[in-house]
Amino acid sequence: MKKNNINSSNSVLEWIDYRLPIISLLKHSAVDYPTPKNLNYWWNFGSLAGFFLLVQIITGIMLSMHYTAHVDHAFSSIEHIMRNVNHGWLIRYVHMNGASFFFIVVYIHIFRGLYYGSYKAPRELLWWLGIIILLLMMATAFMGYVLPWGQMSFWGATVITNLFSAIPIIGEGVVQWLWGGYSVDNPTLSRFYTLHFLLPFLIVGVVVLHIVALHTHGSNNPLGIDRKGPQDSIPFHPYYTVKDFFGLGVALTIFFSVVFFAPDYLGHPDNYVPADPLKTPAHIVPEWYFLPFYAILRAIPDKLGGVIAMFSAIFVLFLLPWLDTSKVRSATFRPVYKLLFWVFLVDAVILGWIGSKPAEGTYILVGRIATSYYFIHFLIILPLLGFFEKTKPLPSSISKPVLAE
């Protein structure tokens, strides 16, 4: 007797599934889910991002059991975790570096989408949900960095919250509302802690929507063409589960090399100095994953303008599905776009480098040029390129990548 499509002799599971179809749901979306058979390694980064989200939530919950969100105790409670909690140093180093690796895999995931045109119809909302996840991640990471209450925590929080004071008329009121007082202080710390705990679960919610949207039209693929029939697909399990596990193994090896042998490499030494509201550090720099946006913020010589440019740098991504006018998805068949993709990537890296440098001399000039190019790429080049670029002929199907002449 076989009900539904459960390939199982377990009658308990069948009993459950008949009433609550969670097993067939999982089977549908994680086992049988038809996936293009030509996905390359760049498609590993979606599941890796999910993995690191899980790592952050699990280690974060463990840390929250020992952390104290109070300006007088936060710094020492972190040291308590590092010294007295069993394996506390490991949990905290995994959480600290896990944030960085979450951003690394998500940035690669985003650039994969940019290269292969994964944001184009019918995947616009899938792309939007991804950007919302990125925004939530940024908010979560920023507030998480404040929690140890070191010098960079405090001054980073001061600089970033002060950005809102650039809003005309209500700016100052908004900033005081964010602080819960007249400066970054205990109310700020405790609300950041609450939100830092809450937002990851919102991210999980948006991730579920992201996956629902993904599974509606299926994954894009390196050729960027739609699947023509079942011969173009393979079931997710075991093909992509095993490939994802292999990718995970490689990622974990790199990740734990950092965690065990250079755990503070990605952090800033100043954050091992307790916060002192009377002493400004020589350089206030955000975590590395914010540096490109920090460079854009500082490229504009006006506070409000800088804030607008920084937020626009992300919001322009929402418009991308319509700014890119080309009908061809994959850069493989777009020779000019392919080149410009790499130029854009280099531009983003330059912005990151400028973000880590003091705003002086040549750095200012380079930062301004790189910022201009960032927006020119999206707002001018991509809309025009669709009309002028001579694309290569597309293959007729995934199974026949050679041209059907």
Partner 1 sequence: MKIILFTIIFTTFFIQALFSASEGLKPMKYNFSFDGILGSIDKNSAQRGLQVFTEVCAACHGLNHLAYRSLEDIGYNKGEINNIAKQFLIDDIPDENGEIKKRNAIYSDKFVNPYPNEEAAKVSNNGAYPPDLTLMVKARKDGANYLRSLLLGYEDAPEGVDVGEGYYNKYMPGKIIAMPQPLYGDDVEYQDGTVATLEQEVIDVVTFLTWTAMPELEKRKSSGIKVIIFLLIMTFFFFLSYKKIWKDVK
Task: Select from 52, 392, 84, 1 the least CA-distant residue to 256.
Answer: 52
- Is 273 an interacting residue with respect to partner 1 (CB under 8 A)? yes
How far apart CA 194 and CA 190 sit, in angstroms, is: 6
Are the CB atoms for 402 and 223 separated by under 8 Å? no
Task: Give the contact letters, 95-134, x = binds to partner 1 (CB under 8 A), - = no.
Answer: ----------------------------------------
* 88: Cα separation from own chain's centroid: 26
Choosing from 22, 54, 121, 242, the residue that interacts with partner 1 (CB under 8 A) is 242
CA 384/CA 227 separation, integer angstroms: 28
The reply on whether position 8 binds partner 1 by CB under 8 A is no
Closer Cβ to partner 1, 57 or 248, answer by number: 248
Q: How many residues are there in the chain? A: 405
- Closer residue to partner 1, CB minimum distance, 15 or 246: 246
Q: Is 243 an annotated catalytic residue?
A: yes
Three-class secondary structure assignment of 332-377: HHCHHHHHHHHHHHHHHHHHHHHHHCCCCHHHHHHHHHHHHHHHHH
Q: Which of residues 296-315 bind partner 1 (CB under 8 A)?
A: 298
**H or E segment and range at residue 220:** none
Give the whole-angstrom CA distance, residue 31 versus residue 222. 22
DSSP letter, residue 378: I
Q: Does 360 bind partner 1 (CB under 8 A)?
A: yes
CB of 262 to partner 1, least distance (A): 10
Task: Give min distance, CB of 276 to partner 1, in A.
Answer: 9
Tell me phi and psi for residue 235, to 5 degrees. Answer: -65, 145
Pick the piece of the chain touching partner 1 (CB under 8 A) from 23-31, 52-60, 87-95, 201-209.
87-95
Residue closest to 92 by CA, chosen among 127, 144, 135: 144
Catalytic residue among 17, 244, 270, 324: 244
Find the binder of partner 1 among 15, 18, 177, 245 (CB under 8 A). Answer: 245
**37 is an active site residue:** no
Stretch of residues binding partner 1 (CB under 8 A), selected from 79-87, 114-122, 222-230, 341-349: 79-87
27 and 10 in contact (C-beta within 8 Å)? no
259, 94 contact by CB (below 8 A) = yes
Burial class of residue 180 in the structure, from the number of CB atoms within 10 Å of its CB (0-12 exposed, 13-18 middle, 19+ buried): middle
CA dihedral 380, 382, 386, 387 (to 10 degrees): 10
Residue 270 DSSP one-character state: G
Minimum gap (Å) between residue 24 Cβ and partner 1: 24
Instruction: Closer to partner 1 by CB, 230 or 361: give it.
Output: 361
- Binding residue (CB under 8 A) for partner 1 from 107, 111, 197, 239: 239
287 tagged catalytic: yes
Distance from C-alpha of 36 to C-alpha of 358, rounded to nearest angstrom: 46
Q: Is 238 in the site for partner 1 (CB under 8 A)?
A: yes
Q: Determine, following the binding rule CB under 8 A, whether residue 319 of this chain makes contact with partner 1.
A: no
Q: What's CA 163's distance to the chain center, in Å?
A: 22
CB of residue 71 vs partner 1: minimum separation in angstroms? 15
- CA separation for the pair 105, 125 (Å, rounded): 21
Q: Which region among 6-14, 200-208, 246-254, 339-347 touches partner 1 (by CB under 8 A)? A: 246-254
Binding of partner 1 at residue 353 (CB under 8 A)? no
Examine the residue annotation and report whether 219 is marked as an active-site residue of this protein.
yes
Which of 28, 215, 237, 338 is catalytic? The answer is: 215
Instruction: State which amino acid sits at residue 9.
Output: S
Q: Which of 17, 232, 270, 287 is catalytic?
A: 287
Residue (of 79, 30, 52, 2) closest to 240 by Cα position: 30
Kindly determine how many residues on this chain lie close enough to bind partner 1 according to the rule CB under 8 A.
49
CA distance 259 to 95: 9
Interaction of residue 172 with partner 1, rule CB under 8 A: yes
158 binds partner 1 (CB under 8 A): yes
Look up 405 and say whether it is catalytic.
no
Q: Which residues are catalytic?
A: 215, 219, 243-244, 287
Residues in contact with partner 1 by the rule CB under 8 A: 37, 76, 79, 82-83, 89-90, 93, 155, 158-159, 162, 165, 172, 182-183, 234, 238-239, 242-243, 245-246, 248-250, 252-253, 256-257, 259-261, 263-264, 269-270, 272-273, 280-284, 298, 358-361
